[in-house]
Amino acid sequence: MLRGRRYLANVMAGFYSKLHAHLWSLPALFFIGLFCYFPLARVISLGFGHHWLGLFWNKQSLSISWFTIWQAALSTTIVLALAIPSAYVFYRVKFAGSRFLSAAITVPFVLPSIVVAIAIKTLWSNGGIFAVIMANVFMNYGFATRVIGVRWQATDSGVEEAAQLDGANGWQRYFWISARELAPAIKNSALLVFLYCTTNFGLMLVLGGGGLHSLETSIYSATSQILDLPRAAIYAFLQCLISLGVLMVLRSGFGQQFSFGYQRNRRALSLSDAPVTIFALLTSLLVVVLPIASLIRHSILAPAGWQLWRANSSLSFGLGHAAMNSTRNAGISLLIALVIGLYVVNSNNSLLLGLFRFPSGISNVAIGLGFLVTFSSGFFPLRSSWLVTPIAQSIVLIPLVIQIVAPAHNSLAHEYSDVAASDGLDGWNFWWWIKRPLLRQSLVTAIGYVVVVSVGEFSAANFLTYGDQATLPTALYQLLNKPGVINYQMALAASVLLIAFTATVMFLVEL
């Protein structure tokens, strides 16, 4: 009895000290709870009305889920087949321009999905499944190449030299020798690419041409076309199941994909590497350069589209207005994502880290729908405010900041915390004077990624922006859907500018 009471007292004491430690996390917990888990719970509860089983287990839901999965699986397979040899070439072989190229091929990964769709559409004007898969490959090829390549760089180069002795086809032998070390990177990149291909809303919406339906486009059409919210909610639930499944398998290795390549461990181009180098260069030419070149060519052939400042009667507001909205939203979401993301990283609290990382796998469409059904009325009518879009976007940007900054931060933490403690620096000074300069590079990267991803975000914005609150991607989507050659030409020109913007930011960050 007494022992029991003492045990209880110990537990309570532990609880209070934990509570105290968590007290400062409350604003962050409140934020993620209110803006992520609460809306998601609202959406899912909406789906589980009295007809839920019928909605869940019918031919339509099953075939949409199946389509979402197989198009992603097929795209992932193609991406891996192209990315593994490319990783070798761009990250282990040194040749003129290799560093520039390895940075250039990752640009598509952060391009606005709507811009990617427009670029692919200039190659396949009718869209269809091939166009969707091509777009998936375009966006994810450079990303997978980087994840695998960075890992490859970290492998022992002694092995490489042993393989080199064998002459021709060296890279394949080398691949099999280092396969054990590469396996986690290949697995992680495969899972992430698969996840990104199941959440390719903008690509599927534009390139599917109304004939192809993934879970995300079905959430959207169930909401905006037939206004069947329970159906939309069931699709969102199925989408969350896929994300959860992938995240469970993924578990570790999150965040490695943005770590910086050490530029050591590269060797000079040798004759035996010629075939694989040619393969990688051709691949990047076909996968990355061709769609962008085609977009630029089409936009140059249609000079009228460059008069972007002109008022457009189809939009009821100018593209300049949309650009202002996008800039404002990016500023707000950057502020939120940096403050909360850095706080979570610094807290090193596994509960917070877990809660904030989870949304990175969740479909933005589901989050958009969640905001729409939760904040349209009632206690917190956020939907009518322009803040709704940047706040919804920050839910997926916070995990991005965490993913980029956490690896660098954690490697610092062990090395310097003892020094700081012995020098008597308090937390804030320690952070500002010691950590911040050392984290500078990863902070710059985080800011660059957040701005670019926020400006290009389409899935959530498409649910939440109405009328004059349109962002650049939603305005481009509206332009695509209006008849008239001039609208299409304007969309082309604006897309070229967005690619230039994204590429500039990425190169500033990376080179």
Partner 1 sequence: MKSARIRVLIAVTIAIAAIAGFISIHGSGASNKKDVTLITHDSFVMSPALVKEFDKSTGYTLHLLTAGDAGSMTNKLILTRNAPIADAVFGIDNTLSGEASANHLIAGSLTPTDFGDVCFNYDKLWFTNHHLTPPASVADLTKPAYKSLTVVENPATSSTGLSFLAVTVAKFGTPGWSNYWKQLKTNGVKVDDGWEAAYYTDFSGSSGKGAYPIVLSYATSPADEVRSNGQSQTASILDGCFKQTEYAGVLQGAKNPQGARAVINFLLSHTFQNTFPSTMYMYPITNDGAVPHDWITYAPNPTVTYGDNLDFNHDRAQWLATWAALFG
Footprint on this chain of partner 1 (rule: CB under 8 A): 24, 27-28, 31, 60, 210, 213, 221, 223-228, 314-316, 335-336, 339-340, 343, 346, 372, 376-377, 381-387, 391, 417, 420-421, 426-428, 430-431, 466-468, 481-484
Distance of CA 466 to the CA centre of its chain: 24
- Compare residues 9 and 226 and give the one whose CB is closer to partner 1: 226
Q: Which residue, 10 or 17, is less far from partner 1 as judged by CB? A: 17
Nearer to partner 1, 50 or 264 (CB): 50
Q: How far is CA 306 from the centre of its chain?
A: 29
The dihedral formed by the CA atoms of 116, 141, 109 and 143, expressed in degrees to the nearest 10: 180
Work out how close the CB of 419 gets to partner 1 at its nearest, in angstroms, rounded to a whole number: 12
94 phi, psi to nearest 5 deg: -105, 125
Alpha-carbon gap, residue 124 to 141, rounded angstroms: 19
CA atoms of 393 and 331, how far apart (whole Å)? 11
Task: Measure the CA–CA gap between 460 and 463, rounded to whole angstroms.
Answer: 5
CA–CA distance, 113 with 456 (Å, rounded to integer): 7
By C-beta, is 172 or 417 nearer to partner 1? 417
Nearest distance in Å: CB 304, partner 1:
16
In angstroms, what is the minimal distance from the CB of 75 to partner 1? 22
Q: Which is nearer to partner 1, 204 or 287 (CB)?
A: 204
434: which 2 tokens? 């010691």
State the DSSP code for 261. P
Task: Name the minimum Å distance from CB 24 to partner 1.
Answer: 5
C-alpha distances (whole Å) from 117 to each of 1, 108, 167, 474, 500 are 69, 11, 42, 13, 16
Contact 392, 368 (CB under 8 A): yes
Are residues 396 and 359 in contact, defined by beta-carbon separation less than 8 angstroms? yes
Following DSSP, what letter does each residue of 479-498 receive, concatenated? HHTS-SHHHHHHHHHHHHHH
- How many whole angstroms separate alpha carbon 454 and alpha carbon 338? 13
What SS3 state is found at 334? helix
Residue closer to partner 1, measured from CB, 28 or 503: 28
Decide whether 31 or 174 has the Cβ nearer to partner 1. Answer: 31
CB of 424 to partner 1, least distance (A): 11
Give the nearest distance from C-beta 243 to partner 1 in angstroms: 23
Q: Select 28 or 111, whichever has its Cβ closest to partner 1.
A: 28
Beta carbon of residue 337, minimum distance to partner 1 (angstroms, whole number)? 12
